[in-house]
């Protein structure tokens, strides 16, 4: 029997239950799980923004949640190049990619080298983008509150 080596890639920024679900499901479908934590520079290039949590900290979090056997920095934009560097035979991805051009291309490319792509349900209600937006709105509200209250605070006698 061939050892099932799985690979789950992600930014894992603002680690949340969606990340946990992906890694938990991936671990249940393989014998050895590698988590590819996307490098800061690659995130900036692909998503147009830096992560909130730096790479070293995201790697440390993913390494220590008890689900992955290995966590590696993912710095290559092409998943086949990643596979050549860190071999695996199952690639795990959220089903938000399923049926998309990117997903179909990934499936075709990996099929050529014997890697199976397995999709898991994407956690729609929680994402790093939603968390980032909520934090931004909270910070904007706090800043607005401070600006509005500053004149009142200045008039206080000490």
Encode pLDDT of 12-47 as tens digits: 998 888 889 999 999 999 999 999 999 999 999 988
pLDDT of residue 153: 41
Query: Domain spans of the chain?
Result: 5-124, 127-158
**Where does the chain show beta strands of DSSP type E?**
5-10, 32-38, 70-74, 90-94, 116-120
Fold of 5-124: Rossmann fold (3.40.50)
Alpha carbons 12 and 51: distance in angstroms, whole number: 9
Q: Model's pTM, two decimal places?
A: 0.80
pLDDT of residue 142: 54
> Is 90 exceeded by the pLDDT of residue 138?
no
pLDDT of residue 127: 63
pLDDT of residue 96: 87
Alpha carbons 101 and 105: distance in angstroms, whole number: 6
pLDDT of residue 122: 75
Encode pLDDT of 86-134 as tens digits: 999 999 998 889 999 999 999 999 999 999 999 998 766 666 666 666 6
């Amino acid at each position: 029997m061939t050892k099932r080596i799985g690979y789950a890639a992600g930014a894992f920024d603002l680690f949340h239950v969606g990340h946990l679900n992906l890694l938990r499901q991936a671990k249940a479908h393989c014998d050895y799980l590698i988590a590819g934590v996307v490098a800061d520079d690659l995130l900036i290039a692909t998503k147009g923004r830096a992560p909130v949590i730096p790479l070293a900290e995201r790697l440390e979090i993913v390494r220590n949640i008890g689900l992955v056997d290995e966590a590696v920095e993912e710095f290559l934009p092409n998943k086949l190049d990643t596979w050549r560097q860190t071999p695996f035979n199952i690639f795990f991805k959220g089903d938000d990619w399923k049926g998309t051009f990117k997903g179909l291309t990934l499936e075709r490319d990996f099929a050529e080298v014997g890697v199976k792509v397995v999709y898991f349900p994407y956690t729609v209600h929680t994402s790093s983008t939603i968390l980032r937006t909520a934090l931004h709105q909270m910070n904007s509200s706090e800043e607005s509150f401070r600006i509005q209250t500053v004149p009142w605070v200045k008039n206080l006698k000490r």
